[in-house]
Structure 1
């Protein structure tokens, strides 16, 4: 089954699709032999520190469910806006992004943070797409691509030191079914065992109509259940503080910031 990000709808509505025109005739199959890729320019607007800064991404307009990381999702825009508005949180910090996908949020974080490690699963061409976008926008810079799979029981040496030394963890629209959500929170808990982390998670509450005509958000409800379970844990003699943040900060990118977009902060606090 093919799925499409809401960002596709946002941009087609506002620009009649011109923003998704393929600027490189050879870009199709450069990254993925099975899915058609396009190249899109996203411009940072009204940001004093980065006037007219452009982010150029290769991505797909649709994908199979297990390859959704090849698309751009609205949660990435929300988290990027948060980073640009709260640059002091990320300045001089080591940031690790989980399920980085196209690398959009990591690139924005790389404009501010000391170092960014953007991770994702080694499936299909996800890692090659991520690596390509990072290098195109921050060549030889402070952003790297690494493999990290939520289904791992333990972190390999290739990523453990970065997770241990990291200050901030980012995740945008990374959970979309019950099983992935469970393993995502297992991964988050394993990262928190290293101590000293602040985690920001952006997720959209996607509504569906059930068989009785009621609007429901089953995947978001599962996310909230796991979030509540996490908040009840004590890790290394510390308690977890979970907070839903307001999303009324400025928009630096063109997208539809719907009310269903939510942003969460998780920190460890000494008992």
Structure 2
């Protein structure tokens, strides 16, 4: 019999020793990783270029006309793993909430199908398929990163033209401890970016707030159509990286796009920092603008990595739309929903929230079994928010089917989910 206190210490030690690498970086060829500098805490910083799969002229025409992007043909790489999907409590349609009985019994009904003869979890490796190009990539031998002087990248004129119009350039770290996962790029942020580009008419000319923005890729994409994007997270080093990425991609927003303002927003604090001596603090004018004009909030799962050891999504807040990332730590999940509750009550307009999450199976020492506890807690919190009756706000929750086109190169697996929450005052 293991003492509960010793068990808690065991899990804490395991957590602190974990290092994680995003699937996004794992599947990018070595030749695309350029090490450009060391950050303030001595971590290597890499520059990666992510190609936009679009026809820019057609997209802009459709944006002006208010049309949806249904004519763009993109090959989606979808990993068909329904046994994992069902074991985490999602039904065949992929749209229904878990009822309380289902949540209590998850995650074990079909786990047996994933085990080998000895009872160990069999990990099925996904095929390395890239939609960006069909040519064979060089074999992945040892990584020899090339250290560049700032601004010294050398490309041909044709490459420069393509990069200018069709590339998102992001500085990031790789293989970080769990507490620094926000410095990597995660798949959930790409799902959110796809939705933003597909439904650009919903974001057009609005004010958006992103929570837990990490490297800022979702904020950058949003700024291509929105008027103002408040890109928020915590940690000076992370926010500095995010600000650099905004500057690297000004070409995407310079013509008709909006402004990205990188700010600190701590979910564990009730108030926004207004101390001018603190980097990335808020001015009174910015706070007033945030509450008066925001109509969309969104998130992606970088923040969830801190608890689960595996990536997830990204966060933004705008008066029209809120997109969220699924957090794998129960305390972070609670802090997220409290922050959403507080923000939506302070906004002067109705708000739409979008949650982009990735369900994950995890083996825990506490249960000595494979579970989906964090996902269950997230769904409980989502249900509680919808049931909330405080006489001031009502929250309507519904899933969004991820059948929209893919505008960035990544593997859109079935475990990625997008949720929509409409927060409106009670009339």
TM over 0.5: yes
Match of 1:168 in 2: 296
d(CA) in 1 for partners of 2:196, 2:389: 28
Distance 2:289 2:330 in 1: 28
Tell which deviates more after alignment, 224-233 or 255-264: 224-233
Match among 73, 86, 104 for residue 186 of structure 2: 73
CA distance in 2, matches of 1:202, 1:162: 26
The CA distance in 1 between the partners of 2:342 and 2:373, in whole Å, is 25
Deviations 1:72-127 (A, max 9, x none): 0111000000000000110010011001100100000000111111000025x101
In structure 1, the residue matched to 2:239 is: 127
Q: Does the C-alpha gap of structure 1 residues 260 and 214 become closer, same or farther in structure 2, counting only changes over 3 Å?
A: farther
Judge conservation of contact 1:75–1:203 (CA < 8 Å) in 2.
Answer: yes
> For residue 142 of structure 2, what is the aligned residue in structure 1?
none
* TM-score (normalizing by structure 2): 0.57
Structure (1 or 2) with the larger CA radius of gyration: 2
Q: CA RMSD in A?
A: 2.2
Are residues 1:200 and 2:354 paired? Answer: yes
Which whole-Å CA distance do the structure 2 matches of 1:148 and 1:183 have between them? Answer: 12
Kept after mapping to 1: 8 A contact 2:329/2:374? yes
Long gaps (5+) in structure 1: none
Q: Deviations over 1:37-61 (max 9, x none)?
A: 1100011112432695211000011
| Residue equivalent to 2:249 | 137
The equivalences for 1:173-184 within 5 A come to 173=301, 174=303, 175-184=327-336
Q: Which range moves more in the overlay, 62-71 or 81-90?
A: 62-71
**Which residue number corresponds to residue 225 of structure 1?**
380
1:33 and 1:238, CA in 2 relative to 1: closer, same or farther beyond 3 A? closer
C-alpha contact 2:353 2:423 (8 A) present in aligned 1: no
Equivalent positions of 1:14-53 (< 5 A) are 15=29, 17-19=30-32, 21-22=33-34, 27-29=36-38, 31-47=39-55, 48-49=58-59, 52-53=165-166
TM-score, structure 1 length as denominator? 0.88
Worse overlay, 75-84 or 32-41: 32-41
Gaps of 5+ in 2: 1-17, 61-161, 275-281, 304-326
C-alpha displacement of 1:65: 1.3
